[in-house]
Structures are given as C-alpha cells and as structure tokens.
C-alpha cells in the first residue's frame, strides 16, 4: 500500500538549518499534494530530502517506489529524447537488455506528454520547456508509486502547463500515485491539488486541504500580498492578488 | 709654469703609459676562424675562456706542461661527458678544480658574466653556438671590453675545420711548433687509412651503428650521414642507416636492420651506470674492465633485430666509446673502425698504439686502454 | 519500432568499426621493410615452423607485438578518455588534460636523465615503472583533492590542468639539467613509440582492459546518466561523488599503464571518444565499445601510416596520430553543426 509520511524532517547545510521540525502526512494513494511557499523557503530541499539525495534528521516513511524530478538545467549530450527517457527507466539495473516492457513504459510516458514526435531529437536541441517535459517523462517512465516534482511547469506555456497538471492528476487518480509537487502558481494548486504543504523559512507553516490552507490571512503572512479568495462561475476557488504589502 | 706642469703631468702619467707602450710593442695577430671571420687578437694571450670544456683535448697538447695555466673559465661538459679523463687531469693538476665553470649544451650560450668577470683576452667558442651567440650579440659585447672571440670546430665539419682550428689555437697561444706537430701526426694517421683504402678499394662491409646502446629501451637508434655515420664511411664501411635517417640522429625500424643484413654491428656506448642503471650499456672507455665489457657486449647478438644477420652468424659485434662522436681524437676511432672493417688490409695498424703515441708525444696524462672492444676478445 | 532500428544500426556501426580494425591490423602486420608477400605473412603467422627463422622473427617478434600493442593501447587510452569526458562533463578531458601523461613523462625523464628510480628495482622495466608510479601519484592527488566536499567538476578539470603545467615545468627542468644523450632519450620517450612493444607488455595492457571494461559495463546506465548533469543523475539514485571517484581511479590505471609503456601518445584519448560519440551517441552500451574500437583503429592506422610515410625509419607515433586524427576530427566537427557541446 502506497503511503508517505514525514516525521520531524530537518536538513542542515553548513551552519544553517535549511529545514527543521517538519512533520507532514501520512499521505495516501491518489493524493496530489502541492508544496508551496516563497522563494528559498526550502521547497527544493524538502523534496531532495524525501528523495534521499540529502541527509538530515528525522524520518521519511515511504511505501512504494519513488521518482524525483529536479529543477531544469540545460543539458547537452549525444542522446535522443527516447534514450534519455529509457535511461531513466533503466537506472539501478546492471543488465544491458532493453525488453518490450521497457519500451512500452517509455512509449506511454512519451505519448502521455505528447512527446512522441520528438523521440529521435537530440536533447541538446530542445527548448527549455521541451526539456522539462522530457524530465517529466523520465520520472513517469520509471512507473513510480510516489512522484516528487520540483517546479514541473516552470518553463511551460499556459497550454502545456495545464495539460501536464491534468495528466498528473489523472495518473494520480488512475494509478493510485502520491504526487508531491512544488508549484508556484497558486491557482493551479487550487484547481488540481488536493492538499497543500506551506513552507516558509525552513519550517512548515500550514498543511491540509487546499481550500482550507490557502486563506487571505496565510497569503498575507507567508507571501506578503493582499489577496482575495473568490469562487468563479464554475464554483472553483480563485485567488485574486490585489498587490504586494 | 706650463713646462713645470707638463713635466709634472708626464711624471704622474708615465706609470700608466708604460704598459700601454709595452703592449703596443707586441703585434696583434689576425686569424681566420672556423666561421670564416677575420679576428684580431692582442698578444700575448694569457687568459682564455673555453666555450666548451672539451677544447681542452687540443689545448692540453699545446700547453702540455700546465694545460690549465691559461684557462680562466670553461664549460663543464668535459666533467660530465668524460669524467674518467677529467679525473686523470685532475689528479695531475689539482688546481684545475678551482677554475670557474658554467653549464649548458653544445648549442647553448656561454655564461657571459663569468666570462667577463675573469678578464680574459680571448674566448674560444665552438661553431654550434654561433647562432645563439649572434642572436645574443655576445661577440659585440665582448669586443667592447677588448675580449676577442674566435670560433673553433673539431666536430661539426672535422675534415675541413680540425686542422685550421689546431693551427689557429697554436698561433694564438704562441705554440705554433706544437700545433704543427699535432696536425702532422693527425694527418699522417688519417692518411694511413685513407691512402690504403684509396689504393686497394676494398668492398665496404655493411655496418649498423647501434647508437648510445643501453640508453634507450627500444631498438634501433643509429646515425644518419653525419658524425659516426660519416666516420664509418670514411673508414671504408657502408652505413646501412645512411639513406634512412634524415638528420644525424634517428631511429630505424628493427625490421629494416634485419633486412639490410649488416655484416658488422658497432655498438657505441659507455659506462652509463649513473644515467641508466638498468640499461644494457657496454662500459667501454679509458681504463675499462674488459671482463665486464665482454659480458655486456654478449647481449647484443641476441637482439631480434640482428636475428639471422651475417653479423650475428659471424659474431661480428664491436663496441666503441660513444664520446668519440664529440672529440678531436676521432681519427683514432677511424683507425679502429678501418681495422674492424678490413682486418687484412690493416693488419699492421694498431689504433691502441696510435692513441698511446698521441698521449706520449703530446698529452700530459697517461693513456689508459679500454676504448674499443670486440666480442670474443682481441681488437 | 524506431528504437529497434536505431539499435540495429548501431550494431552495424560497431561491426563496421571492428571490421575496419581487423583490416588495419592485417595491414600493420603485412607492411614493413622486410618486403614479405601476403602468403608469406599468413604462413609465418599460422605455421611459423615452416618459414625461415628470420621471417618468423620479423612477424612474431617485431610486427605482431607492435600491431597488437597499437590495438590495446589505442583502446585503453580511448576508453580512459571517454569515461573522463563522461564523468567530468567536459569534452576536452583526456588522459592528457588530467596530468597523467605529463606525470608519466616526468617519471620516465627522472630515470633517463639521472638514473633516479622511485622503487629501486634493477629490472628491464625501470623506466615504465617510474612513469607508472608518477602517473598514479598524479591521479591519486586529483582523487584526494576531489574527495573534499564542495569540489565541483570544473575544479577537478582545473586541477588537472594545473598538474599538467606543473609536471611539464618539472620535465623541462630535468631536460635542462640532462646531458645531451639523456636529453635525446627523454625527448624520444615523450614523443611516444610503439617500438617498445613486447608480448608481456601487450598481455599486461590486455589484462587491464579485460578487468576494467566489465566494471564499466556494469555501470553503463549510471555512467550514461552522468551526462545529464549531477542533479539529474543524483535524482536517479546514483551516488554521483562515489561513481566519479571510482571511475577516476579506474581511468587513471587505464591511462597510466599504456603511457608508461609506450610514452606519451597524444590525441587518441581525446579524439577516439569524439569519433565514437559522433558515430553512435552516448548510450554507454554502444559508446564504450565504440570508443575502444575507435581508439584502437586510430592508433593501428597511425602505425600503418607511420610505416608507409617513412619506410625503414621509425616516426614517433605521437606525431602520426596527430596527422591522422586531426583532419578526420575537423571534418567530423564541421560536417555536423548541430552536434551537442
């Protein structure tokens, strides 16, 4: 049974406590959780700590295979998109064999993200947004149970970012994944995510259902903006930012 | 008043004028040096700088009683390349150790500060340094201080330049008689080889010169048409590397040696314990231990490059002191080579004896045999 | 299935490289001043007892060790360069740029000029041993400095370049102090020569390849992932620092031993991997064998070219690899503008 729980997570980098006393969850299957907060709050650090890339105090109790997608950086290598995704899938294996199951997983990841046309393109020739999609495909191809995504839509245009988030939510529901995504667009959070973890200055400020967590009060305190939460004609809550405080 | 002042002035200046007057009495000599320059040198020459230490080989024949009397400074190549000879001289003339010396390779500049500080009248430079010296304009610098520069050569083009070099050195040092005697001796000994070869015109054996054997790990380093290569040809042999190596030094494919099927192999070597302790060098040189030489030489027929060659079948392997490539006594090496190549023709030639004669008649140190060896003993 | 097609094409390319290599080796063994005909060569190889002694010696003691040495050294240097470029994410990384060759030259020069042997062993192998020890010292230095935290890939590369300059300066000092004969010997050593080849040396380098290649093979996916950047590789669960260190150590061995035996042969470790990359991409499952084959082919072809350019004499192999490799490299670069890097 897939689950993820964080108990008193802390990370020290040098002298500073980048994260401390962070407890959250337990999260269950088919839950999409947003990790939000201002710049340098510790969102990336948290995701890396959960993924096991950083050492620190506290416990990460996870049931299920994790896949982590870091923030984008430019890459130049003589690999095609297909190979890059295949590569992600084969990590941790020693055998050179690529069987039908592997190719199927890669194909479905590429198809889901509408990348099939780019399959033979060299990754050095991709735009930032395309590369980000490939990063996502890499995470998906591993057929994980827990997806940790660091700003998966930052380089994507409106169309793509909504497409991706919709896809993630669909996979989350259909395959019973836990998705933990650091997102900066709060309206996307409202529309697609179930829960939210609000991080500011290294500690957890709030957690819970999105609609309950994202209040004007919180926004004023954490983001230092004047905001209103109002339902649109469809009944979905939207944040209207009036200005910085 | 003026007359008193004039006499006073003369009285004061006279001591200073004397040496100038005296010096003015000896005629300066003009020589044509190895670079073709006309050089005027004040006489007498009491202090010289040897741009190359090995110029001592000739100087010692001219200033036999005390070869170091006039040397104000020199390059230390003699000490490095021929330590045995250096020690022989040092034993007899311990004061030589105190002579200021400087380092450098054949073509590199002399240490001009040391040279100038010693206040010589003359600097002997060997021809290899000419380009560097001209670029650094040393000749002009020295001339401004009244120091003459004379180029000498007994290595670059020995056939043409050695005699002239000896003659020049003799004139400049006031030892013309000895110089002429040395020249005559050398010419005679060379002619004993060249005359007989010209008359009999024997077929030259194919010769491979294994250069600096024991210094390199791999085979087969040799000489092209210069240096030892030229010596071999003059001695009536055929250097198989001649057409193959473009310069003076180079390396041939061992296969090529095998194919060329040399009749004789000349190994040039020396005691290189200090440089190449594990190398297969043959310790020929003054005072060599014949037993050790034979032991080491015995390795050479086993080299794959010589497999199946005439030389290997006949055991025709010889070793010769590598430093001959850099010495005005090269003509002795030529005699030995000629004797190896044409033993019947030169049955009465005894290079050891020639070398002994050279030492007895001209040099202040004793001759110590060991410069040559043949596999299986006997020269 | 497009990917299967790509895989098949790559296997063809590998086969093509292997074939070219076999051809080059055959040429290397058939060409030489001894003027042997092809049937004679074949007979001397297959039935050495049936040919005259000299012919057997030419083939078995002179030509074949050289041909075999070219192949194994070329492969080793190229694989070393390939993995260096992979883990340091730098297209200019090669056994040269990390200072390994320079250190080896210095070690050899110490023996040739002063008779200074680091380990006092009176073997035939004093020069290669010295060269090897210095090369390993250099790589251990880089290894040790890399283990300190916060040292980035750029720092490693800069460290390597600093070592190159340091050892070259030390080498120049040795050359300055050396006698004329020693100087000539040192210079010949630094120009590289396959003439030092012998069967024991070939066997040693071969054994090295046989031991190390499978280690790289097991890490094929991880190594390929390194090319996506440290972050991405780490996100796959790869212990990036440890993989880098291990690979550096193995690569040092792969580079130091051949260099110790044949002197500095430049360019193969740099160009071999690039040729492989341009032909076959960076998937280590193909890139690794392709690098080995390209390097072997480059050196083998250089050996043949050297023999044909100056028949009879021996041209320092380092010169030939540059003459053979550079134009080819230029043409590959210029014909593919959209290449990565």
Q: What digits encode the pLDDT tens for the residues C2-13? A: 888 999 999 999
B318 with B375: CB under 8 angstroms? yes
Contact at CB, B273 and C182, closer than 8 angstroms: no
Instruction: Assess whether pLDDT exceeds 70 at residue C339.
Output: no
Q: How big is chain C by its Cα radius of gyration, in Å?
A: 20
Query: How far is the C-alpha of C251 from the C-alpha of C94, rounded, in Å?
Result: 10
Chain A touched by C278 (CB under 8 Å): yes
Question: pLDDT class for A34, splitting at 50, 70, 90?
Answer: very high
pLDDT bin (cut points 50, 70, 90) of residue C330 is confident
Estimate to the nearest angstrom the gap between the alpha carbon of A71 and the chain centroid: 10
CB contact under 8 Å between A73 and C283, yes or no, is no
What per-residue confidence (pLDDT) applies to C340?
Answer: 46
Residue C327, C-beta contacts closer than 8 angstroms, at least 6 positions apart? none
User: Where are the extended beta strands (E) located within B1-86?
Assistant: 29-32, 38-41, 48-50, 71-75
What DSSP element (H or E) covers B3? helix B2-25
**B123 beta partners:** B49, B149
Distance (Å, rounded) from C-alpha B232 to C-alpha B25? 49
* Whether pLDDT at A17 is above 90: no
The closest alpha carbon to B56, from B96, B29, B91, belongs to B96
Chain B: residues touching C (Cβ < 8 Å): 80-81, 105-106, 212, 215-219, 221, 243-246, 249-256, 258-259, 273-278, 304-305, 307-308, 322
Q: Count CA within 13 A, CB hemisphere, residue B195.
A: 6
- Is C218 touching A (CB cutoff 8 A)? yes
| Whole-number pLDDT of residue C123 | 56
Q: Which pLDDT score, from 0 to 100, does residue B18 have? A: 46
End-to-end CA distance of chain B: 86
List CB contacts of B343: < 8 A, sequence separation 6 or more.
none
pLDDT for the residue C118: 74
pLDDT band at B240 (very low <50, low <70, confident <90, very high): very high
- Chain C hits for B106, CB-CB cut-off 8 Å, are 180
Residue C73 pLDDT grade (very low, low, confident, very high; cuts 50, 70, 90): very high
Nearest chain C residue to A150, by CA:
C235
> Ranked by mean pLDDT, which of A195-199, B107-111, B152-156, B245-249 comes out on top?
A195-199
Q: How confident is the model at residue A46 (pLDDT cuts 50, 70, 90)?
A: very high
State residue C56's pLDDT score: 86
Neighbouring CB atoms inside 10 A of B207's CB total: 30
Starting at the edge strand found earlier in the chain, the sheet holding B264-269 runs: B238-239, B206-210, B264-269, B317-321, B372-374
Mean pLDDT value across residues C245-265: 88
Q: Tens digit of pLDDT for each residue in B27-79?
A: 888 999 999 999 999 888 899 999 999 999 999 999 999 999 999 999 988 88
This model of the complex carries an ipTM of 0.84
- Which residue from C232, C281, C338 is facing A70, i.e. has the nearest CB? C232
Task: Tell me the average pLDDT across C51-77.
Answer: 91
- The residue-averaged pLDDT of B119-145 equals 89
Distance, CA of B30 to CA of C183 (rounded, Å): 38
Burial of residue B8, with CB atoms counted within 10 A of its CB: 0-12 exposed, 13-18 middle, 19 or more buried: exposed
Say if residues B137 and B150 touch (Cβ distance below 8 Å).
Answer: no
Q: Looking at the complex, report in whole angstroms how far the Cα of residue A103 sits from the nearest Cα belonging to chain C.
A: 8
- Asked if residues C79 and C213 have their Cβ atoms less than 8 Å apart, the reply is yes
CA-CA distance, C10 to B368, in Å (whole number)? Answer: 72
Mean pLDDT score, C101-107: 89
- Report the pLDDT averaged over residues A218-228: 88
How many residues are given for chain C?
A: 341
What distance in Å separates the CA atoms of residue A148 and residue A183, rounded to the nearest whole number? 11
Residue with the larger pLDDT of the pair C17 and B323: C17
The per-residue pLDDT for range B174-196, each reduced to its tens digit, is: 999 999 999 999 999 999 999 99
| Phi–psi pair at A241, nearest 5 degrees | -90, 120
The per-residue pLDDT for B9 is 65
Residue B93 Rama label (left phi>0; alpha psi -120 to 50; beta): beta
Alpha-carbon distance of B57 to B363, in angstroms, equals 9
- Chain B residues with CB-CB distance to C114 below 8 A: 274-275
What pLDDT sits at residue C124?
Answer: 65
Pair A170, A116: CB distance under 8 Å: no
Q: Which of A71-85, B356-370, C294-308 has the lowest mean pLDDT?
A: A71-85
Burial class of residue A121, CB neighbours in 10 A (0-12, 13-18, 19+): middle
Q: How far is CA C144 from CA A59, A143, C106, C141, C239, in A?
A: 32, 38, 21, 5, 17
Predicted confidence (pLDDT) per residue in C149-164, tens digit: 667 788 888 888 899 9
pLDDT value at residue B23: 47
Tell which phi-psi region holds residue C229, choosing left (phi > 0), alpha (psi between -120 and 50) or beta: left
| H-helix segments, B26-111 | 56-62, 77-81, 83-92
CB contact under 8 A, A71 and C6: no
Q: Do chains A and B touch (3 or more CB pairs under 8 A)?
A: no
What per-residue confidence (pLDDT) applies to B148?
A: 92
β-bridge mates for residue B318, sequence order: B266, B374
d(CA B267, CA B296): 11
Number of other CB atoms surrounding residue A240 within 10 Å: 11
Mean pLDDT in residue range A49-78: 87
Q: Give the per-residue pLDDT at A73.
A: 74
Whether A197 has a pLDDT exceeding 90, the answer reads yes
Q: How confident is the model at residue B19 (pLDDT cuts 50, 70, 90)?
A: very low
Q: Note the pLDDT tens digit of each residue in C161-175.
A: 899 999 999 999 998
Average confidence score pLDDT of chain A: 89
What pLDDT does A231 receive? 86
For B95-113, write each residue's pLDDT tens digit: 999 999 988 777 788 888 8
The CA distance from C103 to C100, in Å, is: 5
- Say how far residue C314 (Cα) sits from the centre of its chain: 20
Contacts of A69 in chain C (CB under 8 A): 235
What is the reported pLDDT for B15?
52
Stretch B2-25: mean pLDDT, rounded?
57
A131's CB contacts (< 8 A; 6+ apart) are: A72, A74, A75, A123, A155
What pLDDT, on the 0 to 100 scale, is given for residue C337? 52
pLDDT at C49: 84
Q: What would the two tokens of residue C233 be?
A: 């590789």
Least confident interval from A207-211, B19-23, C84-88, C262-266: B19-23
Question: pLDDT at position C1, please?
Answer: 63
- pTM (global) more than 0.90: no
Using a CB-CB cut-off of 8 Å, the residues of chain A touching C7 are 98
Q: Catalogue the E-assigned strands of chain A.
A: 3-13, 16-28, 31-36, 57-63, 66-69, 146-150, 178-182, 195-200, 203-209, 225-231, 237-244
Q: Over the stretch C183-234, which tens digit does the pLDDT of each residue have?
A: 878 888 888 888 888 899 999 999 999 999 999 999 999 999 999 988 888 8
Which tokens hold the place of A239? 């944040």
Widest pairwise Cα distance in chain A = 58
Residue C244 CA to residue C151 CA, distance in Å, equals 12
> pLDDT category, B21, cuts 50, 70, 90?
very low
Long-range contacts of C164-169 (CB under 8 A, 24+ apart): C164/C96, C164/C97, C164/C98, C164/C99, C164/C102, C166/C99, C166/C102, C167/C99, C167/C102, C167/C103, C167/C105, C167/C106, C167/C134, C167/C138, C168/C102, C168/C105
pLDDT at A20: 87
pLDDT of C300-318, one tens digit each?
A: 999 999 888 887 777 888 8
Contact at 8 Å (CB) between B122 and B148? yes
What mean pLDDT do residues C69-81 have? Answer: 96
């Amino acid at each position: 049974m897939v689950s993820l729980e964080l108990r008193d997570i802390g990370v020290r980098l040098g002298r500073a406590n980048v994260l401390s006393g962070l407890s959250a969850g337990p999260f269950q299957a088919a839950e999409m959780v947003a990790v939000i907060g201002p710049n340098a709050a510790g969102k990336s650090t948290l995701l890396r700590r959960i993924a096991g890339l950083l050492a620190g105090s506290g416990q990460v109790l996870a049931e299920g295979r994790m896949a982590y997608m870091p923030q984008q950086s430019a890459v130049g290598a003589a690999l095609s998109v297909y190979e890059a995704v295949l590569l992600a899938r084969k990590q941790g294996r020693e055998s050179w064999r690529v069987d039908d199951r592997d190719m199927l997983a890669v194909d479905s990841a590429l198809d889901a993200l509408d990348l099939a046309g780019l399959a033979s393109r060299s990754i050095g020739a991709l735009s930032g947004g395309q590369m980000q999609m490939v990063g996502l495909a890499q995470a998906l191809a591993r057929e994980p149970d827990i997806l940790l995504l660091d700003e998966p839509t930052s380089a994507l245009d409106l169309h793509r970012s909504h497409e991706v988030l919709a896809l993630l939510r669909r996979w989350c529901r259909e395959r019973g994944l836990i998705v933990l995504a650091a997102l900066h667009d709060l309206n996307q959070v409202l529309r697609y995510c179930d829960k939210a973890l609000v991080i500011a200055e290294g500690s957890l400020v709030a957690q819970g259902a999105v609609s309950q967590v994202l209040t004007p009060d919180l926004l004023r305190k954490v983001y230092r903006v004047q905001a209103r939460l109002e339902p649109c004609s469809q009944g979905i809550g939207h944040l209207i930012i009036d200005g910085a405080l | 008043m003026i007359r008193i002042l004039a006499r006073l002035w003369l009285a004061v200046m006279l001591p200073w004028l004397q040496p100038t007057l005296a010096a003015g009495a000896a005629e300066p000599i003009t020589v044509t040096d190895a670079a073709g320059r006309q050089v005027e040198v004040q006489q007498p020459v009491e202090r010289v700088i040897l741009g190359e230490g090995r110029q001592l080989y000739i100087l010692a024949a001219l200033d036999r009683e005390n070869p170091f009397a006039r040397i104000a400074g020199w390059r230390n190549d003699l000490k490095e390349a021929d330590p045995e000879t250096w020690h022989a001289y040092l034993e007899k003339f311990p004061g030589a150790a105190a002579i200021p010396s400087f380092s450098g390779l054949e073509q590199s500049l002399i240490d001009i500060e040391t040279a100038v500080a010693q206040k010589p009248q003359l600097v002997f430079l060997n021809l290899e340094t000419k380009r560097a010296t001209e670029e650094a304009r040393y000749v002009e610098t020295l001339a401004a201080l009244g120091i003459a520069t004379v180029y000498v050569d007994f290595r670059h083009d020995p056939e043409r330049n050695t005699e002239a070099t000896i003659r020049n050195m003799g004139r400049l040092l006031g030892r013309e008689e000895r110089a002429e005697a040395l020249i005559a001796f050398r010419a005679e000994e060379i002619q004993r080889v060249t005359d007989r070869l010209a008359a009999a015109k024997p077929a030259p054996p194919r010769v491979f010169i294994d250069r600096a054997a024991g210094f390199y790990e791999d085979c087969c380093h040799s000489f092209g048409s210069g240096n030892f290569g030229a010596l071999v040809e003059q001695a009536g042999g055929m250097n198989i590397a001649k057409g193959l190596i473009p310069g003076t030094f180079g390396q041939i494919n061992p296969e090529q040696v095998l194919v060329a099927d040399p009749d004789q192999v000349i190994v040039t070597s020396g005691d290189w314990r200090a440089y190449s302790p594990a190398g297969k060098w043959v310790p020929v040189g003054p005072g060599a231990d014949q037993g050790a030489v034979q032991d080491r030489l015995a390795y050479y027929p086993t080299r794959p490059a010589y497999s199946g060659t005439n030389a290997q079948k006949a055991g025709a392997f010889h070793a010769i002191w590598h430093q001959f490539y850099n010495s005005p006594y090269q003509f002795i090496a030529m005699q030995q080579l000629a004797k190896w190549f044409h033993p019947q023709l030169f049955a009465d030639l005894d290079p050891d004896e020639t070398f002994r004669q050279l030492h007895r008649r001209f040099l202040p140190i004793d001759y110590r045999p060991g410069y040559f060896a043949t596999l299986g003993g006997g020269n | 299935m497009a990917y299967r097609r790509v895989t098949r094409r790559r296997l063809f390319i590998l086969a093509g490289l292997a074939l070219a290599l076999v051809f080059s080796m055959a040429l290397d063994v058939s060409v030489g001043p001894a003027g042997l005909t092809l049937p004679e060569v074949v007979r001397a190889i297959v039935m050495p007892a049936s040919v005259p002694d000299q012919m057997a010696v030419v083939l078995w003691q002179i030509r074949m060790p050289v041909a075999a040495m070219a192949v194994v050294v070329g492969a080793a240097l190229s694989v070393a360069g390939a993995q260096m470029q992979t883990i340091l994410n730098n297209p200019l990384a090669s056994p040269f740029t990390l200072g390994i060759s320079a250190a080896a030259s210095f070690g050899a020069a110490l023996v040739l000029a002063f008779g200074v042997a680091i380990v006092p062993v009176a073997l035939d192998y004093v020069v290669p041993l010295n060269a090897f020890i210095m090369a390993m010292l250099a790589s251990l230095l880089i290894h040790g400095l890399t283990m300190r935290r916060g040292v980035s890939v750029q720092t490693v590369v800069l460290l390597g370049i600093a070592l190159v300059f340091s050892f070259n300066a030390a080498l120049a000092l040795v050359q300055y102090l050396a006698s004329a004969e020693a100087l000539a010997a040192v210079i010949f050593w630094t120009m590289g020569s396959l003439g030092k080849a012998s069967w024991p040396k070939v066997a040693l380098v071969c054994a090295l390849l046989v031991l190390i290649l499978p280690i790289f093979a097991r890490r094929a996916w991880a190594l390929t992932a390194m090319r996506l950047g440290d972050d991405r590789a780490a996100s796959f669960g790869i212990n990036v620092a440890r993989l880098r260190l291990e690979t550096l150590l193995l690569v040092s061995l792969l580079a130091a031993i051949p260099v110790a035996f044949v002197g500095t042969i430049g360019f193969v470790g740099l160009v071999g991997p690039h040729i492989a990359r341009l032909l076959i991409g960076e998937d280590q499952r193909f890139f690794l064998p392709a690098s080995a084959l390209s390097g072997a082919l480059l050196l083998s072809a250089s050996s043949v070219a050297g023999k044909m350019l100056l028949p009879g004499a021996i041209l320092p192999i380092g010169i030939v690899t540059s003459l053979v490799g550079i134009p080819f490299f230029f043409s590959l670069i210029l014909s593919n503008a959209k290449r990565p890097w």
